[in-house]
Chain A
């Protein structure tokens, strides 16, 4: 029977790994991720989860252990944050290049220096080009559901790539909320047994991901790009299929809220989208045609959805919980890149907000939207990148 529990998003990520029948978990603790793998250790120790729990000396080793386990033919899971993810960086490339469907929860935390334990996306977005798919969750339920969906997608034969399921530290990680945890049979029915594109076999020994001459390297990289494109097509289907099993869906790649007749759309990622909905409702009551769209999947990037979104709106304002130093927010850059080929482009303004855990409330978003509307009416972006709530 489906169980309604009240728990933190981190513990919920542990429940999801258990429900996915993960067989190997290799992990190293780091704030604010620690309670994810604590919960899993608890499940394994209590005999509720049939998995090998490998304690390692670093995040780099955690990822390498996951690569080995996934290559040996079992479903694997790990979780990390911030500097732990940065330490994994090299191994992340090995995981995607080896085409192993590893799923990892990334509990977003700002990168130092200065030292911070609070959330922003600078950790996971720094891993943008590693060949991992990236999902960003807006609530605890979505964390559970996305981990299950991620395995389904990663293990699809047209994909065979790893995925990060990102959730903002503390805003979600340590916050209690009611979550619907389906029973094991329901999950088994949706998620078939582990599948990988290749497997280590003691009877047919081989080494993998080894030296490839310039004559072949490009083809292997092209196949990763092809797999990303396939994933982009499959994600809405995986989401729809999930809805048929569990009655919940997340809009595939982009979750839209009151965008149909909107003049201005606030484009965000993660939990900011929930506050954006409140801001949209308030402004709608004032007669302002504002909508909100949440990029749920950042890699593969939903170019086509953004192009479609751009068709009927006059302006898009992106809110990045991240800054690419020397440029602008990633979401701003990529939204602009997505609409570049259109002849009738909306204005796009980039806002930087919420770095290092600074609150982005519905009020903050309303303030951004109202400034955007002013620029929209004047037909001109006054500032390419605006930092929100910055001390003078």
Chain B
């Protein structure tokens, strides 16, 4: 959010443009960490489709890459993975 010094600089209602990390690095909220076993991954892209935070990117070979700066560890990707190629592990492990 742009920092307004006076009321005149403010819009009549708050408007936010999407920017990366506008709420900070939300990956720090994580308790469980998804880890991908690329040997088991069939490149079905379901984890990429289901990730509610767009923290998974699709690599050239369609395999997932998890962005741990923003992954909150919700576990939806692991739940959806049909081959159990994604497992959730405790952060401290």
Contact = CB atoms under 8 A, between A and B. Distances in A.
Interface string B65-83: 0000000000000000000
Interface of A: 97-99, 160, 197-198, 204-210, 212, 216, 219-220, 222-223, 227
B59 interface: no
Interface in B12-39: 12-18
B7 A223 contact: yes
Interface of B: 4, 7, 10-18
B13 A220 contact: yes
Nearest to A197: B12
A210 to B, nearest CB: 5
Nearest to B18: A205
Q: Which of B4, B13, B16, B17 is packed against the most chain A CB atoms within 10 Å?
A: B13
A208 B14 CA distance: 6
B7 A222 contact: yes
B26 to A, nearest CB: 14
B54 to A, nearest CB: 13
A206 B13 contact: no
A283 to B, nearest CB: 48
Nearest to B23: A211
Given A205-B18, A206-B16, 13 more contacts: A160-B12, A197-B12, A197-B13, A207-B16, A208-B14, A208-B16, A209-B13, A209-B14, A210-B16, A216-B14, A220-B10, A220-B14, A227-B12
A208 B1 CA distance: 12
A382 B12 CA distance: 48
Contact of B13 (A99, A204, A205, A222): A99
A352 to B, nearest CB: 38
Nearest to A224: B12
Nearest to A204: B17
A206 B12 contact: no
Contact of B14 (A204, A212, A222): A212
A207 B7 contact: no
Contacts of B7: 219, 222-223
Contacts of B11: 197-198
Instruction: Return the 5 tightest CB-CB contacts between A and B, nearest first.
Output: A99-B12, A206-B15, A197-B12, A99-B13, A206-B17
B9 to A, nearest CB: 10
Contacts of B18: 205-207
A98 B10 CA distance: 13
B12 A208 contact: no
Nearest to A222: B7
Contacts of B17: 204-206
A197 B11 CA distance: 9
A205 B12 CA distance: 17
14 contacts: A160-B12, A197-B11, A197-B13, A198-B11, A205-B18, A206-B15, A206-B16, A208-B14, A209-B14, A210-B14, A212-B14, A223-B7, A223-B12, A227-B12
A219 B16 CA distance: 17
B12 A216 contact: no
Nearest to B11: A198
Contact of A97 (B4, B10, B13, B16): B13
B13 A98 contact: yes
Contacts of B4: 216
A271 B4 CA distance: 47
A18 to B, nearest CB: 29
A92 B10 CA distance: 22
Contacts of A223: 7, 10, 12
Contacts of B12: 99, 160, 197-198, 220, 223, 227
A160 to B, nearest CB: 6
A306 B47 CA distance: 65
